[in-house]
Structure formats: structure tokens, C-alpha cells
């Protein structure tokens, strides 16, 4: 008979993690609930082995405990959602899964930098036929930076620095474009 206060131990990718059976039982249709049921988990002294990433699994367990999660930089939202699907856990509100500030800043900077490099190459190549399109994209990128900046915690000095740096780069690129047109 299953004891709701029992502790279940998982060995996921070599990482040992524990959670109460009561939390697992809140998701009876999940693969995890089936794995720890009396039918499948015969030796309760042995951890349940799962051949997956233990760091992602730790976040899955946190989601089960708290019904929301802020993912660390090492776990992408896509990877987390993929594993949630693998474990048969339904995410009712995607808004309950957030990436931490560092993750948002890294992604934001990488996307902005790649786009800025592309625009810079177009300007260097003096592709005058596409300068109007480039200007539209610069304006669009500026709006994206401003919108994403509002999503990031404004009081955080790192966020202010990164967003300010990106805005400066966009303005400089826009000025170069205006100089080429003159």
C-alpha cells in the first residue's frame, strides 16, 4: 500500500533527488506516478533510475512542488517543457514557467548582437537597394529592445547596463545609416 508521507528517491542521470510521494500522487496520470506505484516500484529501498538529465529533473520536481518555476541559466524553457512532456506532466499555464534574469539577458544580448552584425554587414557592403529595409529593421529592433527591457527587472543594474548598451549600438547603427543616405 502506498504511503503518502513516504519519500521517493530518484537517480536521474546520476543525480540523486528526493520528493514526497504526496507530491507525485498529485499527478496520478504522469509517468512519475506510474514509476513509483506499487505495480512498478517493487523495491522501495532502491532509487528509481531514469536515464535523463538530472538538472532538468530537479526543476521538474520543483515545478511539481510549487506549481511555478523560475528556470536557472543552465536549463532552457524548451528543454524543461520537453521533459515535462516526457514525464507526462501537463503545464496548465505557460506563464508559470519563467527564465531567470541572467538567461533573459544572455538570450537578449545574443539575438540583438547577431542582428546588429547582419545589419552592419549590409551597411559595409553599401547595399543601397536594401537600406530602406535595413532602416525598418533597425526601428523594429529598437522597439524589441525597449519591449524586452520592460520585461526585465528594471531595478537590476545588469539589465540596465545590457539594455543601455544595446540601445547605444542600435542608435550608432541608425546614425551610420543616416550618414550613408546623406
pLDDT band at 14 (very low <50, low <70, confident <90, very high): very high
Q: CA nearest 164: which of 123, 105, 121, 122?
A: 105
CA atoms within 13 A on the CB side of 102: 7
The answer, yes or no, to whether residue 143 has pLDDT greater than 90, is: no
Cell numbers of 91, please? Answer: 503545464
Question: Phi and psi of 88, rounded to 5°?
Answer: 70, 30
Mean pLDDT of the chain: 75
CA distance 51 to 9: 14
Query: Which residue(s) pair with 94 in the sheet?
Result: none
Query: Which residue(s) pair with 8 in the sheet?
Result: 19
Q: CA nearest 94: which of 69, 123, 65, 122?
A: 69
Q: What is the mean pLDDT of residues 157-170?
A: 60
pLDDT at 101: 61
8-state DSSP, 89: -
Q: What is the mean pLDDT of residues 150-154?
A: 51
- Which H or E element spans position 14? none
pLDDT at 138: 65
Provide the residue count of the chain: 182
The answer, yes or no, to whether residue 159 has pLDDT greater than 60, is: no
For 22-76, what is each residue's pLDDT tens digit? 999 999 999 999 988 877 666 677 898 999 999 999 999 999 999 888 888 788 8
Amino acid at each position: 500500500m502506498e504511503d503518502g508521507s513516504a519519500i521517493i528517491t530518484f537517480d536521474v542521470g546520476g543525480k540523486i533527488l528526493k520528493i514526497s510521494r504526496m507530491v507525485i500522487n498529485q499527478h496520478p496520470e504522469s509517468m512519475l506516478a506510474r514509476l513509483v506505484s506499487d505495480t512498478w516500484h517493487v523495491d522501495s529501498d532502491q532509487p528509481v533510475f531514469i536515464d535523463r538529465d538530472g538538472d532538468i529533473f530537479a526543476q521538474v520536481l520543483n515545478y511539481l512542488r510549487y506549481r511555478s518555476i523560475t528556470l536557472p541559466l543552465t536549463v532552457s524553457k524548451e528543454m524543461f517543457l520537453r521533459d515535462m512532456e516526457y514525464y507526462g506532466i501537463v503545464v496548465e499555464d505557460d506563464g508559470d514557467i519563467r527564465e531567470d534574469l541572467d538567461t533573459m539577458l544572455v538570450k537578449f544580448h545574443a539575438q540583438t548582437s547577431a542582428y546588429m552584425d547582419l545589419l552592419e554587414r549590409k551597411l559595409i557592403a553599401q547595399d543601397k537597394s536594401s537600406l530602406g529595409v535595413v532602416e525598418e529593421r533597425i526601428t523594429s529592433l529598437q522597439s524589441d529592445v525597449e519591449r524586452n527591457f520592460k520585461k526585465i527587472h528594471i531595478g537590476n543594474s545588469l539589465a540596465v547596463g545590457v539594455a543601455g548598451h544595446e540601445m547605444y549600438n542600435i542608435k550608432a547603427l541608425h546614425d551610420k545609416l543616416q550618414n550613408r543616405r546623406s
